[in-house]
Amino acid sequence: MPFLGKQRRLPAEWEPQAGVMLTWPHADTDWAPTLDQVEPVFLQLATAIAQRESLLINCASQAQIDTVRQALAARGVPDTHLNFSLMPSDDTWARDHGPLTVLDNNRPRLLDFRFNGWGNKYPASRDNAVNRRLVTAGHFGDCPLDSLDLVLEGGSIDTDGQGTLLTTTACLLHPQRNPGLSRRDIEHRFQALFGVERVLWLEHGCLEGDDTDGHIDMLARFSDPQTLLYQGCDEPGYSCHAELQAMRRQLQTFCDSNQQPYRLVPLPWPEPQHDEQSRRLPASYANFLVINAAVLMPAYGGSADSLAAEQLQHCFPGREIVPVDCRPLIRQSGSLHCVTMQLPAELEITT
């Protein structure tokens, strides 16, 4: 049976969007030594998004707003699609500090979860205040905001928009996030906050260099209510190979809301990526972003990029696949989806 009965609903990423939020990198972040390399990635992302929908960009200063606006204008981005916010931030991972939007009787409502730097690993007080500052400044019109005493990062959940949510035990049950809350406690909170009927818990899957404790958006994603894409691995010597194989086997046991096994689509294994200290980086093709009329795909400069694009095109046949070189992004252990937060069509975005 389709999901119909709940007052609240967490939309799927492939549903119509008003826009996407970015938090631009600046010199007071860990990007300082590599700003000249990472800003072109953000410009490519911003251009691809703003050609198709609105873009809300959080900037650290008015000078940065002016610079980014000029750079995007030079790329032919329509100014009418750009919205800027003067916003202090600790980092750029909008997926994890941005708002999650639910539809409450088809009206948008913003959920502001507590962000504690992925289990108190990094400073996060400015990022944790972003959503409240955006609402206070009027960037979402009169949309209500609920600030919640629950640690949750947007990258740790994925939904089919019809009452099923996918997540990992490694992240959500981590003791530095919500100590004392059991799996069942979290499910009850999700049912109330998101209107979900089912939570699918992945108990396996990891990537070297991932400091999120296993965000689902690096491992497995919905492409429609009957299909799951997942990051495959054909490198037997890789330290997480056994975990990724166990993840695949567990995904084979999952069924959709009609009690049918999911169609499983493996994504190719990216060529190994390392930093200057030879640390393996968490490259993943599962970290794609669905926007209006397109899918932005993380690319890593190897032959697997074209295979990943083919798989994504097969799963999103009506959308253009837009590769974005994310090698500069994964130097800080995240990729394309991690720096973006989609905003559904029901939400108003204003400057």
pLDDT digits (tens, 9 = 90+) for 307-347: 999 999 999 999 999 999 999 999 999 999 999 999 999 99
How confident is the model over 93-118, as a mean pLDDT?
A: 98
86 in Cβ contact with 121 (< 8 Å):
no
DSSP letter assigned to residue 218? G
What per-residue confidence (pLDDT) applies to 164? 98
How confident is the model over 83-104, as a mean pLDDT?
A: 98
What per-residue confidence (pLDDT) applies to 124? 97
What per-residue confidence (pLDDT) applies to 6? 58
How confident is the model over 136-140, as a mean pLDDT?
A: 97
Tokens 């939309």 locate to: 11
Sorted by where each begins, the domain ranges of the chain are 8-344
For the chain, what percent of residues have pLDDT higher than 70?
Answer: 98
Residue type, 184: R
What per-residue confidence (pLDDT) applies to 351? 83
Distance separating alpha carbons of residues 299 and 286, to the nearest angstrom: 11
256 in Cβ contact with 184 (< 8 Å):
no
Nearest to 282 by CA among 214, 246, 330: 330
For the chain, what percent of residues have pLDDT higher than 90?
Answer: 98
Q: How confident is the model at residue 251 (pLDDT cuts 50, 70, 90)?
A: very high
Q: What is the mean pLDDT of the chain?
A: 96
Q: Which pTM does this prediction carry?
A: 0.96
Residue 263: pLDDT over 80? yes
pLDDT of 152-194, one tens digit each?
999 999 999 999 999 999 999 999 999 999 999 999 999 999 9
Q: How confident is the model at residue 1 (pLDDT cuts 50, 70, 90)?
A: very low
pLDDT of 188-226, one tens digit each?
999 999 999 999 999 999 999 999 999 999 999 999 999
Strands 82-86 and 54-59: parallel
Strands 107-114 and 100-104: antiparallel
Distance separating alpha carbons of residues 236 and 269, to the nearest angstrom: 11
DSSP letter assigned to residue 317? T
Residue 4: pLDDT over 80? no
How confident is the model over 260-274, as a mean pLDDT?
A: 98
Nearest to 56 by CA among 17, 82, 90, 24: 82
Q: Return the CATH number of the domain spanning residue range 8-344.
A: 3.75.10.10
Helix or strand or coil: residue 23? strand
pLDDT of 42-86, one tens digit each?
999 999 999 999 999 999 999 999 999 999 999 999 999 999 999
Calculate the CA 60 to chain-centre distance: 21
